[in-house]
Chains A and B, each alone.
Chain A
Amino acid sequence: MADHTAGGGSSRLRGYVVIIEERCKGCAFCQAFCPTGALEMSDRMNRAGYHLPVLRFPEKCNGCDLCGMYCPDFAIRGVRNRPREDV
């Protein structure tokens, strides 16, 4: 599976997202409900012709995984670089 990750493992950033591109259907729920506005729909398409979300502002992403909860296609998830106990 082709994963698109940005900022993974970097200690400077709070979080990042993982996207399984073949599963995405471009519904844009992740981009619309990202609480920090870190995601954006890109012009890039996957094999099925759906536009993919992209982590346009990696410094805004805190890895809260709300995008992962909204994703109907199990295609995206947020990861915290420093796991928090209270979530």
Chain B
Amino acid sequence: MNQPVLLSPLLRQERMPHIWCPGCGVGVSLNCFVRAVEKSGIPQDRIHVVSGIGCTGRVAGYVNVDSFHTTHGRALCFATGLALSRPDSRVVVYSGDGDLTAIGGNHLIHTARRNVDMVVICVNNFTYGMTGGQVTPTTPENMKASTTPYGNFEYTFNLPALMEACGATFVSRWTVFHVRQLIRSLEKALKHRGFSFIEVLSPCPTLYMRRNRLGNPLNMMEQFKERSVIRNGEGTAGTSLEEGADLIVGDFIEVRRATFKECYERRMTEVLGERFVPYEGVR
């Protein structure tokens, strides 16, 4: 029998139990990620996890691989450097919505545009968890946050559509209710060459749900179960998260385009010819 995930060598067992609140979805997503890595067969020393700041940013401290816990919003910058200097490794950016789309929004757009070969897992819990429940670009309209006590009046980001527009080559969205699909999707993304973006919707019982009186985490899981509609391979049109509308999940986009490194090498070979020596890594 395989090594049970509870005692997986991919987790730093001595640091368990972790700091996430009871019913937080970050743990479920990490559970799925560990299973996907084990299924994909990537060796432990060939996978690197980069995290920013926040609740989800703590993932880098719990995975037993070479990991970075970087400055707020800049996980993608560190990961770009890592992906280019270690072309034989898989780089995974594991961070939250506040870190990736708000503070690091610019980096997210441009890393997707360049199609850097990495997997980005964005755990969207609709709020800034660790810093005290402030509003994020993904907070749904009319929802309360500590900085919007009368409700959020801004328009909300639709992350899969943003990523498709920026040129990401693998885009999907799942919730922490869809564990089997999420494992399968993460496994696909780990094998995909190019920029892969996976949004994982997750309950934040302590800040977002309590402030908006949404009940306990099980209520939100039930909502995910009832409202979600799976739409694989049909693009990201109509996937915005609106109040009362269907919650569209699925693997929306999977295309193959030349990655940042391939484009660079192609252009340099065109211009420099035999004088150009491609970088093969440091091993």
Could you tell me the distance between the alpha carbons of A1 and B12 in the complex, rounded to whole angstroms? 15
* In the complex, B4 has a CB within 8 A of chain A: yes
By a CB distance below 8 angstroms, the chain B residues around A27 are 22-23, 217-218
How many residues in A have their beta carbons less than 8 Å from beta carbons of B? 25
Query: A36-50 vs B: 1/0 string, CB under 8 Å?
Result: 000000000000001
By a CB distance below 8 angstroms, the chain A residues around B21 are 25
By a CB distance below 8 angstroms, the chain A residues around B16 are 23, 73-74
A20 engages B6 (CB within 8 Å): yes
Query: A55-83 vs B: 1/0 string, CB under 8 Å?
Result: 00000000000101111111111010001
Q: How many A-B residue pairs have CB under 8 A?
A: 73
By a CB distance below 8 angstroms, the chain A residues around B17 are 22-23, 25, 73, 75
By a CB distance below 8 angstroms, the chain A residues around B27 are 71-74
B22 engages A69 (CB within 8 Å): no
A69 engages B20 (CB within 8 Å): no
A66 engages B179 (CB within 8 Å): yes
A69 engages B1 (CB within 8 Å): no
By a CB distance below 8 angstroms, the chain B residues around A73 are 16-18, 20, 27
Q: Which residue of B lies closest to A32 (CB)?
A: B218
Could you tell me the distance between the alpha carbons of A23 and B20 in the complex, rounded to whole angstroms? 11
* In the complex, B24 has a CB within 8 A of chain A: yes
A71 engages B31 (CB within 8 Å): yes
Could you tell me the distance between the alpha carbons of A68 and B183 in the complex, rounded to whole angstroms? 13
* B5, B6, B23, B35: the one within 8 Å of A72 (CB): B23
A29 engages B218 (CB within 8 Å): yes
Could you tell me the distance between the alpha carbons of A69 and B35 in the complex, rounded to whole angstroms? 9
Query: B1-39 vs A: 1/0 string, CB under 8 Å?
Result: 100111000010000111011111111101110010000
Give chain A nearest CB distance to B111 CB in angstroms. Answer: 28
* In the complex, B180 has a CB within 8 A of chain A: yes
- Where the two chains meet, the residues of B that have a C-beta atom closer than 8 Å to any C-beta of A are 1, 4-6, 11, 16-18, 20-28, 30-32, 35, 177, 179-180, 183, 217-218, 221
9 of the cross-chain contacts (CB-CB < 8 Å) are: A22-B17, A27-B23, A68-B31, A70-B31, A70-B179, A72-B25, A73-B20, A74-B6, A79-B4
